[in-house]
Amino acid sequence: MRIRHTVLAATGGAALMAVAALPAAADPAVPPPAPPNPVFRTEATRQEAATEAPVTASQLLDKVTRCTQISRGKYRSDQGAAAKIPVCDAKGAVFWKADMDIDCDGQPTVRCNRQTDPYFQPTTAFQQSDGAQLNAEKLPFIVVPGPSSIWDYRVSGIRGGSVAAVIYKNKVQYAVVGDTGPTGIIGEASYATAKALGIDPHPSTGGAASGVTYIVFKQSRVSPIESRNAALTLGKSLARSFVKNN
């Protein structure tokens, strides 16, 4: 992570027709079998779908309208900005509402390197299962502030690989905690996270000035950290629990 400044048809044959024209043999004493109950089947299907339906952005946002501040102070969105962003506590998660700067640190790629990002660093705070740095271009991850007197993410049950739901303009992207940043600034995520949310992911000129909500689930962890499918599966499950319990 780096510190950024605010600038931001069908045809039928004759034979079939003849068969269709024949009178059907029927025994008036034997009534036809009753059709299955469509109401029962429809209701059962609806309930099953509701159980597995992914949580929506609006459902998550409805649960973070009030803030029980857990941080001892507040964070800046960028260097030079006013410190007015608190970290809030909830059942099973912490959350904050901020901007989104683009983190391209980690493995050098076509879109994340020293030429595209003047603040590029070839390392991330947490690494893949094979020891390699994270790939910001491919892996959705967020950046948490380094531990400080304002807030220590570790005390809240957050660690590398913890699952987060990032929400922007009615879209939800599940990500992992993949990097740490300056102790006084908050609001940053990887190139892949921004791209998935429809935010310009360019490390120098992209990002979102506001309107991004970060919900990080306590005591959660994706293993291996680089598995997008694992983050998605666990994220959906934790999001359902979060909506149910808050």
Q: What is the pLDDT of residues 104-144, one digit of tens each?
A: 999 999 999 999 999 999 999 999 999 999 999 999 999 99
More confident residue, 100 or 18: 100
DSSP 103: E
Q: Are 108 and 89 in contact (CB under 8 A)?
A: no
Peptide bond between residue 224 and the one before it cis (omega within 30 degrees of 0) = yes
**pLDDT surpassing 60 at residue 167:** yes
**pLDDT surpassing 70 at residue 157:** yes
pLDDT in tens, 35-88: 444 433 344 434 444 457 889 999 999 999 999 999 999 999 999 999 999 999
Q: What is the dihedral of CA 233, 239, 240, 246, to 10 degrees?
A: 160
Compute CA distances 31 → 27, 213, 243, whole Å. Answer: 8, 61, 50
Distance CA 117, CA 200 (A): 14
Record the pTM.
Answer: 0.81
Q: Which two tokens stand for residue 61?
A: 């946002």
Q: Which of 7-11, 56-60, 77-81, 241-245 has the lowest mean pLDDT?
A: 7-11
**Which residues pair with residue 214 across a beta bridge?**
96, 166
**pLDDT surpassing 90 at residue 18:** no
pLDDT, the chain, mean = 86
pLDDT in tens, 177-191: 999 999 999 999 999
DSSP 113: S
Q: Are 178 and 133 in contact (CB under 8 A)?
A: no
Output the pLDDT for position 186.
98
Residue-range domain boundaries for the chain: 55-245
Output the pLDDT for position 51.
55
Residues 6+ apart with CB under 8 A from 54: 172, 236, 239
Distance CA 77, CA 99 (A): 6
Output the pLDDT for position 4.
52
Task: Identify the three-state secondary structure at position 192.
Answer: helix
